[in-house]
Amino acid sequence: MTHPLLNAAAVRRAAHEMLARLRAGQGAWRVDDQRLDEAASLIVATTRERYPALDIPYHSRWRHFEAGGVDRRAGLRSRLAAIGCDRRAMARAEIDLVVVSVLLDAGAGPDWRFREAGQTYSRSEGLGVASLRLFEQGAFSSDPARPLQVDAQGLIRLTPTVIAQGFQVGQANPLLGLEGRTRLLNRLGAQLQARGDLFAVTASDAAPESPNRPGALFDRLAAQASGSSIRAADILAVLLEGLGPMWLTGNEDQGIALGDCWPYRTVSGDTVWVPFHKLSQWLSYSLLEAFEAAGLPVVDLDALTGLPEYRNGGLLIDCGVLQLKDAARSRDRFEVGAPEIVEWRAATVALLDELAPRVKAGLGLASGQELPLAKVLEGGSWAAGRVIAQRLRGGLPPLDIISDGTVF
């Protein structure tokens, strides 16, 4: 049974409904539409600085693997080629890596660092590099002879100690949500085991004893591809179907796990669900390059939405587009499902849709030139949110959100 909230269209619809409420004066936030151009200008300036030729890649986990200017993907693909992987097998391995890495990508906290080859990385870049190195060490594989894979048993037996060691966690180097991250990967392993219809590798080039892996999604989606391409919404749909029960939020409707989808009480007294699926959409964006490298391009990218997290959402707060009516509340600590956070995240999704054409115009792109949201984010809104947060608060987000490491 497919739930009507388990798709990107539901996210976009609920987000724009929420933005309309806020503009009508409801909720905890004031919307200053006069500041939208200021936010767009910062995104444009940041994009031009980062990508002067406008050769903008996708907003993707792969960008974090490139931290310090190191092409770690080339090194990984070289290792995969050396053990005889063709491009389909490489796609499975890259999907394996990206799935666990994205699920480990919630906010690290201000004090955590990862050190490699004399360089120090923090936040998403550090988490990306650390997870890549753990993958290469075989930490997520149950088979020592096949370290470059992620499989059900490898994840089920994973412990916080393994994550802590791989991420160089210690008393002087704390990582937020360590236990929550580990439980999430344990649950991913259980879900891989339970859904053999999606995660059993059945391709002709797979070894007979291949375990259930995230990378099997490549074969499932390739088999259902329309012509020579697949749709971005189909990637998200299979992720939401296959991974839904692993989320730790406890949000359910009609017995179906909804994950990053939150109840919200309107002024009329009705309770509605507001879906986001942030990590699943971030994962969908991050899988694009693995599919394309295997010769299966992804189309209709803008069916996915912007990502409602503290960089994109922080940009809107810091530029004054979104303002708490009670400014003193900005010093509070909020639960992820608090109405103020649900409103903020939903407004972020909707306002990113409104910012995208402004950014495109600011970059001087003609109406026929494509700039999918996946590139606006990368160019872009996420980076601009980091820039302004660094200037205002040393990089800290504008709101203090209690997180177990699985949403923020």
pLDDT for position 406: 64
Q: What is the pLDDT of residue 97?
A: 98
Residue 349 CA to residue 234 CA, distance in Å, equals: 20
126-159 pLDDT, tens per residue? 999 999 999 999 999 999 999 999 999 999 999 9
pLDDT in tens, 325-370: 999 999 999 999 999 999 999 999 999 999 999 999 999 987 667 8
Q: State whether the Cα torsion 290-296-297-299 is positive or negative.
A: negative
Sign of CA pseudo-dihedral 236, 242, 248, 253: positive
249 within domain boundaries: no
What is the spatial distance between Cα 145 and Cα 188, in angstroms, rounded to a whole number?
A: 22
CB 100 within 8 A of CB 135: yes
Same domain, 216 and 311: no
Mean pLDDT, residues 213-241: 90
Number of domains composing the chain: 2
Check whether residue 268 and residue 400 sit in a common domain: yes
How far apart CA 242 and CA 249 sit, in angstroms, is 16
Reference 403, options 346, 345, 353; nearest CA is 345
Residue 294 in any domain: the answer is: no
Burial (0-12, 13-18, 19+ Cβ within 10 Å), 258? buried
Q: How many beta carbons lie within 10 A of that of residue 156, not counting itself?
A: 16
Same-domain pairing of 53 and 64: no
Q: Which domain holds residue 179?
A: 60-223
| Rg, Å, the chain Cα set | 20
Give the pLDDT score at 239: 93
Nearest to 123 by CA among 97, 99, 103, 105: 105
Same domain, 40 and 66: no
The token duo for 265 is: 């009480």
Q: Is residue 340 part of a domain?
A: yes
| Any domain includes 290 | no
Estimate to the nearest angstrom the gap between the alpha carbon of 60 and the chain centroid: 8
Ramachandran angles phi, psi of 262, nearest 5°: -130, 140
Residue where a domain terminates, one of 161, 190, 223: 223
- Specify the pLDDT at position 205: 65
Domain co-membership, 155 together with 171: yes
pTM (predicted TM-score): 0.92
In the block, tokens 């300036």 appear at 45
Alpha-helical regions (H) of 244-370:
278-293, 312-318, 339-362
Residues 200 and 118 in one domain: yes
Instruction: Show the tokens assigned to 11.
Output: 């996210």
Q: Tens digits of per-residue pLDDT, 75-94?
A: 999 999 999 999 999 999 99
Does residue 129 share a domain with residue 3? no
User: For residues 77 and 41, what is the distance between their CA atoms, to the nearest angstrom?
Assistant: 38
Looking at residues 3-9, what average pLDDT do you find? 94
The reply to whether 158 and 213 lie within a common domain is yes
| Residue 228 located in a structural domain | no
Angle (deg, nearest 10), helices 216-223 and 232-243: 130
- Predicted pLDDT of residue 203: 67
Give the span between the Cα atoms of 70 and 125, in whole angstroms. Answer: 12
Q: Are strands 113-116 and 119-122 parallel, antiparallel or unpaired?
A: antiparallel
**Does any domain span residue 286?**
no
List of residues 6+ apart from 111 with CB closer than 8 A: 173, 174
Tell me the mean pLDDT in the region 26-46: 97
DSSP class of residue 379? I
* 65 and 175 together in one domain: yes
Query: Is the domain of 114 the same as that of 198?
Result: yes
In a domain, 229, yes or no: no
52 and 128 share a domain? no
- Residue 292 domain flag: no
Beta bridge partners, 29, equal 324
pLDDT at residue number 176: 87
Do 23 and 87 belong to one domain?
no
